[in-house]
Structure 1
Amino acid sequence: MSRGLRNNNPLNIRLSATTRWQGEVRPSLDPSFCQFESMAYGYRAGLKLLQNYRRVNGCRTISDFINRWAPPVENNTSGYISRVCREMQVPASHVPDVRDKGTMCAFAAAISQVENGVPAVMADVQAGWNLL
């Protein structure tokens, strides 16, 4: 089982000294990544973070979001963008509506698949959206 699934953190959100997510388990047994009470809370945190990337950081396109999410200093970011776009069936220049449930659930599911190597359970992603 992948680290993200084991931690109920399907988007692999790193621990932060300044941010405590709803449903986050503290202390985390993982030294680097958040752990959540359930997959729904893990998806909620990821969806909220993506919405903040638009609101706070000005991310517009899928490419912008993934460059921030998975920076080139530690990832094959161009490959990551390609995989997310292939899963969502959109170009890298696509501007997602961060307020649209279908769009954001598809976006989170695509990131989860890249992070964990298995398709996301859409009921878990949607449950995360419903916690927003």
Structure 2
Amino acid sequence: MSVKESRGVRNRNPGNIEYAPNNHWQGQLKPDFSIEKRFARFDTPENGIRALARVLLSYQRKHGLKTVKAIISRWAPSVENDTAAYVRAIESSTGTRPGAEIELDQPAVMAGFVKAIIHHENAGYVYPDRIVAEGVRRALA
């Protein structure tokens, strides 16, 4: 592993999902607070991407969030992030017009959204397309 790897890449949790004892994600490792105090860790990046995509799906299905702004405002609240900049980055990366509704249950849309979040959360890191595609496939299965 590279010394410069981001926390999300090291933890195989490229969305930086916080650890919660009531979440039982596929492939989630047991917490080890000597390694990571706040965020979940996964056995493979595919399972970390699956968890990221499942959270995003719940935002659409359970909470009715349909725009990049609505989704990212929940994903990365302004108390910790420059949410407006995050929204612009995701819209730019995915080619989504501000305010346009998106359908994350479409594999290509979800893959683009996930890639954009990973890039933003992990200092420009890019997983091979096959890893993203497999994580998205697992989430939508």
| Structure-2-length-normalised TM-score | 0.89
Give the conservation status (yes or no) of the 8 Å contact 1:8–1:37.
yes
Deviation, structure 1 residue 119: 4.0
Matched, 1:90 2:96: yes
Tell me the residue number matched to 1:54. 60
Aligned residue for 1:36, secondary structure, equals: coil
Q: Superposed, which structure 2 residues align to 1:13-24 within 5 Å? A: 13-24=17-28
Tell me the residue number matched to 2:126. Answer: 120
CA shift for structure 1 position 124? 1.3
CA RMSD of aligned residues (A): 1.1
Equivalenced residues, count: 132
Equivalent in the alignment of 1:80: 86
Q: C-alpha separation between the residues in 2 aligned to 1:92 and 1:106?
A: 16
2:61, 2:105 → 1: CA distance? 11
- Residue of structure 2 in register with 1:131 after alignment: 138
Larger Rg: 2
Cα distance in 2, alignment partners of residues 54 and 90 from structure 1: 16
Identity %: 31
Secondary structure of the residue aligned to 2:65 is: coil
**How far off its partner does 1:92 sit?**
2.7
Unpaired runs of at least 5, structure 2: none
